[in-house]
Amino acid sequence: MTWQIHRGDALAVLPTIPNGSVDLVLADPPYNSGGRTAGERVGSTARDKYVSTDAGHTLADFAGDNRDQRSYTYWLSLILSECLRIARPGASCLVFCDWRQAPATSDALQVAGWTWRGIIPWRKPISRPQRDGFKRECEYVLWASHGTPVRHETPIYLPGLVEGSQPRGAARVHITQKPVGILRQLIRVCPAGGTVLDPFAGSGSAGVAAIEGGRSYIGIENTAHYAEVARGRLAQAAKETSA
Amino acid sequence: MTWQIHRGDALAVLPTIPNGSVDLVLADPPYNSGGRTAGERVGSTARDKYVSTDAGHTLADFAGDNRDQRSYTYWLSLILSECLRIARPGASCLVFCDWRQAPATSDALQVAGWTWRGIIPWRKPISRPQRDGFKRECEYVLWASHGTPVRHETPIYLPGLVEGSQPRGAARVHITQKPVGILRQLIRVCPAGGTVLDPFAGSGSAGVAAIEGGRSYIGIENTAHYAEVARGRLAQAAKETSA
DNA sequence: CCTCTCGATGAATCCATCT
DNA sequence: AAGATGGATTCATCGAGAG
């Protein structure tokens, strides 16, 4: 099992990756939602939108979260269409999104040529209640495939919903960090020994899950700080797994 | 608390209901999805599409499940826009859909003038597993409001996800029947003593939940058989509640 | 009345075969 | 070649009935 992190913009790096070389695309793009108004969406940084003013932590900011919804859909379809080229026939694609971007994300997937196959809610048990309304307790993972999904040698049956809270305290190194436990469950859709492509690697949680699960990993991350963080976590995970 | 069932097509009956007279629209439209091919989606009956070939029951079919997706979106937006007229400012709207129709349903809501406010997954513990893929374990409830949602006198905090199995055995009277327990939770978004409008009443489960929860209920159902079933269940629920 | 076992079921879907 | 048809499948859950 090998791993690599490319430092650069996904749209610039993806074209350098050869055709039909990965078995799962796992994308956690910047959501470009969260602001209550169009002005708030384009004006503020990701930190201002996603981190409550009373939150104590001081996590690094990330760029690329300032698109309006139409541009978001177009941009994401460009990314996903490059990913389709890189994916083997039968490969799966999993894209994280929040409730607001779910329709745009399903559009982008299908525009890019992927076959949409389902929605897997990610339930976050620790979430803020909302007065006089329904709690925003879930994010969503859209599942798609490149044609007919591959048949696994030993059949697998995956859950229809995943649960797990975001890492807290020292374990949390990125604002929108996903729990490794969630990613471990999702990565099982990639045949054992296969390769996972992650165009928005962030702090590398998907890579950690991939390596622990015996898959190779190709990550792309634009922010130099997070690319470094991811390399550190991946080296550590690779060492622990081989041990 | 009062209740009534109108027998007729929703698009014909809704215009007879006065402006600003309901506090919650709870809609469970025919999904117009499923089926194995495009032809079958619009050609076969709801039973053929949604009932497993190994199912033992012999429940009645229902009509209105033969639209392609474009027509579905348009038709639903007409329904929802009449519902917006009938809803008081601050009222909520809850619409059931499956994963395939979620984007079209959010479009229809917003085209009709509702403000989309969230997605509440409904998790069904009894669901068929799927080989080499993620189980289709959830349906979805889209939540929207007519402007700013009303402020409840005593604050309520609603779940971000609801769980419950379809009724089984003798309790099951409709192919796509919703559990009363689920509806009871959803109906809490309607202020106590308010009125619930249900344009696709089916066997009347939402009405039962409304009456049990101390809300008035206006249901519309096109299939004569189910309108009668709903009347029976509602009369029963009203008797038990007043007792 | 509680616990346990047994059997039935699912707002399907996949796949090979046929038209 | 594309679409239609028919049969096989899977397991967590729940109800019924037994102990």
Instruction: pLDDT band for A242, please (50, 70, 90 cuts).
Output: confident
Instruction: Domain count for chain B, please give it.
Output: 1
Give the pLDDT confidence of A205-220 residue by residue, as tens digits: 999 999 999 999 999 9
CATH code at position A214: 3.40.50.150
Instruction: pLDDT band for A66, please (50, 70, 90 cuts).
Output: confident
Which comes out higher in pLDDT, residue A205 or A50? A205
- Provide the pLDDT for residue B5: 98
Residues A7 and A200 sit within 8 Å (Cβ to Cβ): no
What residues make up the domain containing A96? Answer: 3-242
pLDDT of A32 strictly over 80: no
Taking the C1' atom of every nucleotide in all shown strands and the CA of B200, the nearest one is: C11
pLDDT of A29 strictly over 60: yes
Amino acid B181 CA to nucleotide D15 C1' distance, rounded Å: 18
How much of chain A exceeds pLDDT 70, in percent?
88
B158 and A99 in contact by Cβ < 8 A?
A: no
Instruction: pLDDT band for A36, please (50, 70, 90 cuts).
Output: very low
- Residues of chain B in contact with residue A189, where contact means CB-CB under 8 angstroms, are 132-134
SS3 A228: helix
Long-range contacts of A232-237 (CB under 8 A, 24+ apart): A233/A203, A233/A204, A233/A205, A233/A207, A233/A208, A234/A3, A234/A5, A234/A204, A234/A207, A234/A208, A237/A207, A237/A208, A237/A211, A237/A212
For residue B50, which of B71, B67, B65 has the smallest C-alpha distance? Answer: B65
Q: How far away is chain B from the Cα of A138, in angstroms, using its nearest Cα?
A: 7
Amino acid B126 CA to nucleotide C4 C1' distance, rounded Å: 21
Among the residue ranges A33-47, A91-105, A152-166, the one predicted with the least confidence is A33-47
Give the pLDDT confidence of A93-128 residue by residue, as tens digits: 999 999 999 999 999 999 999 999 999 999 999 888
Q: How many CB atoms lie within 10 A of CB A44?
A: 15
- Provide the pLDDT for residue A56: 47
Amino acid B88 CA to nucleotide C6 C1' distance, rounded Å: 52
Of A134, A140, A152, the CB nearest to B143: A134
Measured to protein CB atoms, the chain D nucleotides within 7 Å are 3-16
B134 and A102 in contact by Cβ < 8 A?
A: no
Q: Is the whole model's pTM more than 0.75, yes or no?
A: yes
Please list the ranges in chain B whose pLDDT falls under 50: none
